[in-house]
Structure formats: C-alpha cells, structure tokens
Amino acid sequence: MGDPTKRETECWSSAARQVFCGVVVSAAMLEVGAVVAWPVVLPGLQRDNDTSLVVTDDDVKWLVSSTGIVGMVANFFAGSIMELVGPRLLLTVVLLPSTVSWLLQALTPSLTLLYIGRVSVSLIASFITTLTSPLMAELFEPRLRGRLCCLPEIFVAIGLLAVYVLAHNFSWQVVTCLCAAPLLPLFFLTMLVPESPFWLVRHGRLQEAEAALHTLRGFRRSVRTEELPNIRNSIQDYPQTTIFEQMKQFGVVHHYRPLILLLGIFILRELGGQYAVFSYTLYLFNRTGVSLDSYTCTILVGVVRLVSTIISSSLLDRVGRRPCLIGACLTCAVAAGVGGTFVLLEEVAGSASWVPLASVLVFVSAYGLGIGPVPWVLLGELLPTPVRSLGTSVCTFSYAVMQFTVGYVFPELLLAVGVGGALLVFGAVKMILTVVLWLFLPETRGQSLHELQDAFNPSLPNHPLVDVATNHILVDDVTSSTGELED
C-alpha cells in the first residue's frame, strides 16, 4: 500500500496544485464583478460638473442593461471559440484587451466612447462567464470540485465589493481605472494553468492531456492507469465534436433534460431580481428611505455577499448542492416578500424602518449561500460531455437575455409598482424556482463527471444518479474525503 505519510504528502501536493489553478482561473471573474457593480459610479458621473459627459436616466438604463445585450451576441460564439482554441487559452487571450477597455471607459472624452468601453468590458465578461464553469469542472477531482467551483462566485463578490468601496471614496474615473489593475497580472498567471485535459483528449492530444493531469495531480501512477483512461472512455462513449453534431445530440433525452432544467434555473434566477439589486443598489436604497447613507448600505450588500459566498464553499461538499440551492431560494422568496410588504406599508404610513435594509441583506446572503454559486457549479456538472460547450453557450445566452430584461425593465417597474411591488414580484419568482428545484434537481455531490453522464438517462434504470421525479439517489454516494492514492 506504500508509506501513508508519503501518500498524505502527495494528496496535499495535489490539492495545492489544484487550488492554485482554481484561484488563478477564478480571479478572472473579478472582471464580471466589476462590470456588474460599475453602475454604482453613475450617480456620481451624473453629478460631475468637471466632465463634458451628460448622462441621462435613459443612458443609465442602457449602460446597465448593455451587459445583457452584449452577452446575447457573445454567447452565440463563445462556446464555438472555446471548443476551437481551448478554454484556458481563450481565458488568457481575453484578459489583455479588457485592461485597455477599462482605461478607454475611464479616460473617454465622449459619451460614445463611454458606451464602446462599456460594451467591450461586457463582451469580455461574457466570454469569461461562459468558459469558467466548464473549465473549472474539467480541471478538478470530485473531492475538491464543490469547494473550488465556488471560487468564481467568490471573486465576483470581491470585485463587486471592491467597486462599491472605491465608489464611496474616489471619483468615477479613478474607480474605472482601478478596475483594470488586476487584469494584466492575471494575463501572465493564467499561462501557468494547464489546458483542460478533457479538451486535449477530445482533440487527440493525449500526451499533452497526461502532462496537464500531472501538473494538476502530481506525478502519480493513477493519472495514467485510471484518470486518463476514464476521460478517454468518457469522450469515446460521449464524443463532443462540431457544433452541428452537438445540436444533433440535443435530440437525446438525457442530453436535453439537464439543459432544460438548467435553462429554467438560470431564467428564473435572473427574473428573481439579483441583477437589479446588485447593479441598481444605490438607486434602490435612495428610494427605500432607509436611515443609513445609501453608499453605506451598498457596501453592506457587498460585504454580506462576499461573506455568504465564502461560507457556501464549505457547505456544498458537506451539505450538497440541492439542499443549499433550495434553502437559499426559499429564503430569498421570504426575504423579498417581507421586505416588499413592509415597504408598501411604510409608503402608506409615511414612515421608514430598518426592515427593508434587513430584508435586502438577508436576500443577498441567501444569494451568496446558494443561488449565486450553485447554478454555475451545476452548469459544469450536469451538462453531458457531448453537449457541454454548446449547452453552456445556450444557458449563458438565456442568462444574458434575462440580465438585459431585468436591467432595462427594473427602472420602469419601480415607476409602476414602487420598490415594495418590485420586491414582491422578485419573491414570487423565487418561490416558483424553489418548487422547480424541489421537483427536478438531482444531487451531484461527490460524483465524477464520468458518473454524471447518465444522470438523466431513463434507459438505464439501474445506473442513473437519481430518479429526477422523486430525487431518490440510486447510486452510492462517493466520499469527498481525500481517498486512496496509488503508489
């Protein structure tokens, strides 16, 4: 069996390698957090008498919702480009122009260039969002995947909080310039991360795939005798080739079922209002009449989201994806319902209280604990290999459509029904999502991607991971402990 001390050392070395790669890949999501939070500088820009830029309320709507418009276009091509050049290489390539785009947005002399800069950073954020989840899922062992696949959402929360804090202390130009600061170092760090072994095997580059696995796992025999053969068998049994062939694969029942489920999750997730809460944060608190300064409330939102997202990284492999997501959705529904009701009552009574702020913070904490990270983890786990690239693009496209819809419609919704009515709408959508998850979401904790291929296959009654209708687990749970390492 070998020396236990040596095996434990190898285990820690393997984990450290994967953690490093996970941190580097996930840190690119700082871009996404900055893009989502950047509208917090717009009130300051509208008040700035030292600039020639005139930003109207209509401009605010378009600048906020442009992220969704760009995402709709980008996600038509992101999956194809990712499959053509490799997800890790694509990640490296997009980081450099993002730096230039932020600087253009900050130093622009005209509103047109401000829009161009905003569109550019949104385009790059869409590419990063599309490729991060499948890349993370294909880099890590099942025992680490739950924790490490939460890292992207943690870095989104860090980017969000950083912009909120900077906007409270600096001008909009300085904040926008500082958004570019981490991207150049990340450009070089991503070169140390190996390409996805799954992508390398799909393209017949077996020696490079083995080298990538050794970079991630260390030089242990099980890479050649177990993991690489498992990846090859997975690719051979479920090949992922051209986009047209992937479209044909969507006709297979256990390929389109997880896609439909994930589409429902992402659509209802966005209609539940989190993009409005995080992008219109300052405007939202200005209208609720809370006693605290709106910037302070905004920073509290960023802190709560970051802390709750960090906590979720330790819960997913202990509690499971399904309980975390269902519990978080139900909590969001209750928090939005209570907050909306109190805001409506306060509008009638003409008074203000702490309840709306508390409700929003509970909503945000539940988002960080489940609704934020878990769908992206499921995106990498539930989509089978034959449709993973195209399926990821389809899901992120629907995410972008809903993001645009919420970003553009939210100000009109506020005018029509007020903050209280908007929160009640968001709470109702979250309740619908809770029911959908309860009925159809399987548990994926501790399962390898190879084992998850047939999770929705009705023709294999003795082998699927769950009965989707009852969520009854039919296979033994795979431990998430360190496990056996071969000498």
DSSP 437-468: HHHHPPP-TT--HHHHTTTT-TT-TTS-SEET
What count of other Cβ atoms lies within 10 Å of the Cβ of residue 443? 17
Q: Is the pLDDT of residue 265 over 90?
A: yes
Cα–Cα dist 381/377, whole Å: 6
- Residue 383: the pLDDT is 82
Q: Look at residue 376 and tell me whether its pLDDT is greater than 50.
A: yes
More confident residue, 417 or 474: 417
Residue range 159-180: average pLDDT?
A: 92
Whether 233 maps to a domain, the answer reads: no
Please state, in angstroms and as integers, the Cα–Cα distance from residue 215 to each residue in 267, 413, 471, following that order. 37, 51, 37
Give me the mean pLDDT over the 330-350 stretch: 83
User: What is the rounded CA–CA span in Å between residue 336 and residue 344?
Assistant: 12
301 is a domain residue = yes
- Full DSSP string of 343-354: HHHHHHHT---S
Residue-level pLDDT at 464:
41
* pLDDT tens, position by position, 208-234: 988 888 888 776 656 666 777 777 776
303-321: per-residue pLDDT in tens?
Answer: 999 999 888 877 877 888 8
Q: What is the CATH number of the domain that holds 164?
A: 1.20.1250.20
For residue 359, being part of any structural domain is answered with yes
Mean pLDDT is lowest, of 18-32, 174-188, 386-400, for 386-400
Residues 6+ apart with CB under 8 A from 33: 155, 156, 157, 158, 159, 160, 161, 162, 163
Which neighbouring-strand residues pair with 472? 467
Is the predicted pLDDT of residue 69 greater than 80, yes or no?
yes
Confidence class of residue 457 from pLDDT cuts 50, 70 and 90? low
> Which helix (H) or strand (E) element contains residue 197?
helix 197-202
CA gap 322, 326 in Å, rounded: 6
* Helix 111-139, helix 57-85: angle, nearest 10: 40
Q: Give the position of tokens 């442009």.
A: 66
Q: How confident is the model at residue 453 (pLDDT cuts 50, 70, 90)?
A: low
Confirm whether 224 is domain-assigned. no
**Does residue 274 sit in helix, strand or coil?**
helix
429 found inside a domain: yes
Say which residue, 485 or 291, is predicted with more confidence. 291
Q: Are 445 and 150 in contact (CB under 8 A)?
A: no
Q: For the residues 159-172, what does the mean pLDDT come to? A: 92
Task: Establish if 104 belongs to a structural domain.
Answer: yes
Q: Residues 203, 207, 209, 211: what is their CA dihedral angle, to the nearest 10 degrees?
A: -160
CA dist 223 and 217 (Å) reads: 8
Is 487 inside a domain boundary? no
Alpha-carbon distance of 330 to 307, in angstroms, equals 19
The DSSP symbol for 474 reads: -
Question: Taking the mean position of all CA atoms in its chain, how far away is CA 52?
Answer: 36
User: What is the mean pLDDT of the segment spanning 322-330?
Assistant: 92
Note down the domain range covering 31: 4-193+238-473
What are the structure tokens assigned to 214, written together? 């050794």
Residue 217 lies in a domain: no
pLDDT tens digits for 459-480? Answer: 655 444 444 434 444 433 333 3
- For the chain, report the end-to-end CA distance as a whole number of angstroms: 7
Report how far residue 441's alpha carbon sits from residue 434's, in angstroms, rounded to the nearest whole number. 10
Specify the number of domains making up the chain: 1
pTM, rounded to two decimals = 0.76
Instruction: Assess whether pLDDT exceeds 80 at residue 155.
Output: yes
